[in-house]
Structure 1
Amino acid sequence: MHFSSANWQQIEAYLQNDDRCILPVGSTEQHAYLSLSTDSILAERISLDAALPLGIPVLPTVNYGVTPLFMAYPGTITIRPQVMIELVNDILDSLARHGFKRVLIVNGHGGNIDFLNEVLLQSKSKNIQVKLHHWWKAPLTMQKVLETDPVASHASWMENFPWTRIGNVQQPAHQKEAVDIVKLKTLSPEDARMLLGDGNYAGFYQKPDAEMLEIWHVAVNETRALLENW
Structure 2
Amino acid sequence: MRLQLCTWPEIETYLARSTGIIVPIGSTEQHGPNGLIGTDAICPEVVAAEVGERIGALVAPTLSIGMAQHHLAFPGSLALRPTTLIAVIRDVVQSLAVHGFRHVYFFNGHGGNVATAHAAFAEIHSDASFAGGEGGLRLKLANWYMGGRVQRLSRELFADSEGSHATPSEISLTWHAHPDRARPMTMTPRLAPQAEFGDARDYRQKFPDGRIGSDPSLASIEAGTRLFEASVVDTIEDYQAFLAQG
When normalised by structure 2's length, the TM-score is 0.84
Q: Tell me by how many angstroms 1:120 deviates.
A: 2.9
Matched to 1:72, the amino acid is A
Matched to 2:141, the amino acid is L
Distance 1:21 1:145 in 2: 27
Distance 1:209 1:22 in 2: 26
Distance 2:51 2:45 in 1: 10
Distance 1:21 1:216 in 2: 20
Q: Tell me by how many angstroms 1:43 deviates.
A: 1.3
CA contact (8 A) 1:34 1:164 kept: no
- Which is further off, 199-208 or 76-85? 199-208
Greater share of helix = 2
Structure 1: runs of 5+ lacking an equivalent:
none
**Aligned residues between the structures:** 227
Q: What's the CA shift string for 1:40-59, capped at 9, x where partnerless? A: 11111111112212111110
Distance 2:215 2:93 in 1: 37
RMSD of aligned C-alpha atoms? 2.0
Q: Tell me by how many angstroms 1:164 deviates.
A: 5.9
Distance 2:82 2:68 in 1: 9
Equivalent residue of 2:139, what SS? strand
CA contact (8 A) 2:192 2:207 kept: no
Question: 5 Å matches for 1:134-173?
Answer: 134-150=143-159, 151-153=161-163, 154-160=165-171, 161=173, 162-163=175-176, 167=180, 170-173=183-186
Question: What is the aligned counterpart of 1:192 among 174, 199, 203?
Answer: 203
Question: 5 Å matches for 1:31-50?
Answer: 31-32=31-32, 33-50=34-51
* Structure 1 residue ranges (4+ consecutive) displaced by more than 4 angstroms after TM superposition: 163-169
Q: What's the CA shift string for 1:172-226, capped at 9, x where partnerless? A: 23472231222xx14x423422332221222232334333322221111111112
Q: Tell me by how many angstroms 1:166 deviates.
A: 7.9
Question: 5 Å matches for 1:96-111?
Answer: 96-111=97-112
Alignment of 1:215 with 2:227, yes or no, is yes
Q: What's the CA shift string for 1:12-32, capped at 9, x where partnerless? A: 111111111111111010012
Question: What is the aligned counterpart of 2:236 among 204, 207, 224?
Answer: 224
Structure 2: runs of 5+ lacking an equivalent:
129-134
When normalised by structure 1's length, the TM-score is 0.90
2:62 maps to 61
